[in-house]
Each structure stands twice: as C-alpha cells, then as structure tokens.
Amino acid sequence: MSDAPADTDCLFCRIVAGEIPAEVVGESGHSLAFRDVNPQAPTHVLVVPRRHVANAGEFAEASADELADVTLLARTVAQAEGLGGDYRLVFNTGAGAGQSVFHAHLHLLGGRAMKWPPG
C-alpha cells in the first residue's frame, strides 16, 4: 500500500482521497482510474498511483510493482471500455512535455485512430 503522505495541495491526491469528485472507472489497491475532465479521445482515462509521486521516473524508483499495477489497471479499463488491445498509454514528464499535474498519471487513450508520430 501507499506509504507516501498525501499532498493536500495536489489535485490527484485530493481525487484519490475523495475530496474532489471524479468519474472513477476502475481501482486496485495501489491505483485509481478516472475519466479525464478534458478528453482527447472517446476513451481518455487517467490511471494514477494512490501514493504521491511527481512523475513516472520517481514512480518507478519508488515502486516497480506499483508502476506495473497502474499499467495493468489501464489494460483492465481498456478492455472494459471495449478497446481490446488498441490503445495508447502516455506519461507526460515535465512541463516542457505537457505535464501540468505533478502527481504521476498514465493517460489511457483510445476509441479513435491514433496517429504516429504524435506531433
């Protein structure tokens, strides 16, 4: 289980704590999945660790098992959303790469054609 204290100023810690509402679509002991408020695809879900870590690298350093748990929950949600095996997983890391919430989160995107490279 999470051993990092929740950050009271962190939006996703507050969603995990139930202090801010979100449309939860899946959960596990270590992770929570909820719909992005500004979806970029028919399915756009954020899968977050319950513990506060700033980004994917810090998350991997803190717990490889919990990083795997987020990935597995994303797969479960993708299947529940009817995406089969066709979806994109993204960790934006750093403001210059588009990260705006500094609590690690895996974007699960699917339900439309996904171009590559993403631009």
How far, in Å, CA of 92 to CA of 100, rounded?
A: 9
Give the residue, chosen from 29, 100, 117, 118, that forms a contact with ligand 5GP under the rule CB under 6 A: 100
Give the residue, chosen from 16, 22, 33, 56, that forms a contact with ligand 5GP under the rule CB under 6 A: 22
- Residue 5 makes CB contacts below 8 A (sequence gap 6+) with 52
Instruction: Give residue 113's Cα distance to chain centre.
Output: 21
**Residue 105 binds Zn ion (CB under 5 A):** no
**Residue 70 binds Zn ion (CB under 5 A):** no
On whether the CB atoms of residues 28 and 68 are closer than 8 A, the answer is: no
CB of 49 to ligand 5GP, least distance (A): 14
User: Which region, judged by CB under 6 A, interacts with ligand 5GP, from 25-33, 68-76, 79-87, 96-104?
Assistant: 96-104
